[in-house]
Amino acid sequence: MKLIIVSNRVSYDEKPQSGGLAAAIQDTFKSINGMWIGWSGEISEEVQRKNGKYENIEYKVFSLNEKEYQDYYLNFSNEVLWPVCHLRPSYLRLIENSYATYQKVNQQFAQEVAANAKDQDLVWVHDYHLLLTGYFLRQTGHGGALAYFHHIPIPPLDLIRTIPHHCEIFSGLTSYDLVGVQTKNDLKNLFEYFNHYKQPGVVIQTQGEDAFYVEQDGQSTHFSYYPISIDTKKIEEMSKISIEEKEIHHLKESLGHRQLLIGVDRLDYSKGLENKFHAFDTFLKNYAAQHQPVLLQIANKSRSDLNSYQDLCSGLEALASSINGDHGNPSYTPIRYVNTVYDHASLTGLYRAARVGLVTPTKDGMNLVAKEFVASQNPEDPGVLILSEFAGAASELNEALLINPFHTQSVAQSIAQALEMPQWERVQRHRSMLKKLRAHTIQTWHERFIADLMEHCHPRRWRRTGS
């Protein structure tokens, strides 16, 4: 038996990944041999395949052509599914026939898996790009254990209904033995969707508040939530070393007596970066006499081929410049806005150097930056986490200062509260959050998920297409 993980992108070099899905997958393979299948990131008109092996991970990657990249990845995945799942249907933009390409690419992923998987293997598909891969894999005749994890939010029923072909897409989830989501609220939304579109002969049964199953034609799919986490111990140790890096010392020297706020986000409209800047502007207007902190905002560019992301990038640059012009002087720049990509170790050092972590997504599946900020702190003199209540992490890290990123004045007040918070309170809040992060790690996350898959999997009887 081996574990086969399938994701849109595969990191097939030897570099440890800094966070997110890639890091989670690499950590999963530490305890089990397996194979990682997905897109190489390359675009070519003829399919280019590459195989490789690093430690106990075997890689199988392939290229996409330009149409597949445009229609499957940029359009249907990131201009249809992504905005709706992040409660931004106004960003939805459907290109004609992009869904057909989305189906075609999901079928291609399924064929790659079918060529490498045996029925005794465990197949684990990841994220919204590949919602239909399980359906197409079953059509090849694969009857083995099959799971799916959805890393981004599940929106409410009325928003799911705005997704073109939503019935076909979400009914495809019943091809899996196990479907995992991030939070209890995601699970509730998925249950309401299946209940609303329940077909004759389909049984939907809750299993307490933490799970439900859908049964049809003698086959059942188990649904539950599994909040993803971090390698807490590793980050604690890493931050102790990274805080001593020259770059961190130079940063501290440049701050002088001023305190540091930090934000680390991918450049995306769901991350609430504009909300964050407006709240910091309001803070500077109302509390400038007491504080002159510096906000270091690291925003890694992504999906730069999409107009909405290009507009966001230029808008944030203009907003940061305006705020600096209004509140800065020759010796003080309130916002240091950079698009530099930092390695994971350096980020933990920056987190540890900051008095405040400012995490303000308007909607987020989990947000591991919030968890990494907490794990990176000095337990004797920790910083304060300000966290959007719309991040999945808020359900676990409720000792943070929870904020509504749309309420600008309230966020500004929370910044002032964080900067003035006494040490005993900072220690108390941090200790409670760190205890949770030590108990629930990335290791316990994938161990629980795989254990549940093995419990709920059962042989599937599928006829091969055309047979």
Is 94's pLDDT higher than 60?
A: yes
The winner for highest mean pLDDT among 6-10, 247-251, 379-383 is 379-383
Q: Which amino acid is at 325?
A: G
In sequence order, the β-bridge partners of residue 214 are 204, 221
Region 130-149: what's the mean pLDDT?
96
Q: What is the pLDDT of residue 461?
A: 52
In sequence order, the β-bridge partners of residue 146 are 123
Strands 34-43 and 145-149: unpaired
Is 56's pLDDT higher than 90?
A: no
All domains of the chain, ordered by start, with CATH?
Answer: 3-229+443-456 (3.40.50.2000), 232-439 (3.40.50.2000)
- Pick 351 or 314 by higher pLDDT: 351
Residue given tokens 């239909």 in the structure block: 132
Calpha distance 241→34 (Å, rounded):
32
| Model pLDDT for residues 73-82, shown as the tens digit of each residue | 999 999 999 9
Residue given tokens 């890091």 in the structure block: 23
* Active centre residues (catalytic): 151, 364
Q: What is the pLDDT of residue 301?
A: 78
- The tokens describing 410, both together, are 């309230």
Q: How many angstroms separate the first and last alpha carbons of the chain?
A: 27
Region 144-149: what's the mean pLDDT?
97
Calpha distance 123→225 (Å, rounded):
18
- The tokens describing 160, both together, are 């799911």
Calpha distance 463→29 (Å, rounded):
32
Q: What is the pLDDT of residue 361?
A: 98
Q: Name the DSSP letter for residue 415.
A: H
Q: What is the pLDDT of residue 467?
A: 34
Region 119-148: what's the mean pLDDT?
96
Question: Could you tell me if 222 and 176 are in contact, meaning their C-beta atoms sit under 8 angstroms apart?
Answer: no
Region 144-166: what's the mean pLDDT?
97
Calpha distance 463→461 (Å, rounded):
7
Which residues make Cβ contacts (< 8 Å) with residue 330, sequence separation at least 6? none
Grade residue 400 by pLDDT with cuts at 50, 70 and 90.
very high
Q: What is the pLDDT of residue 28?
A: 75
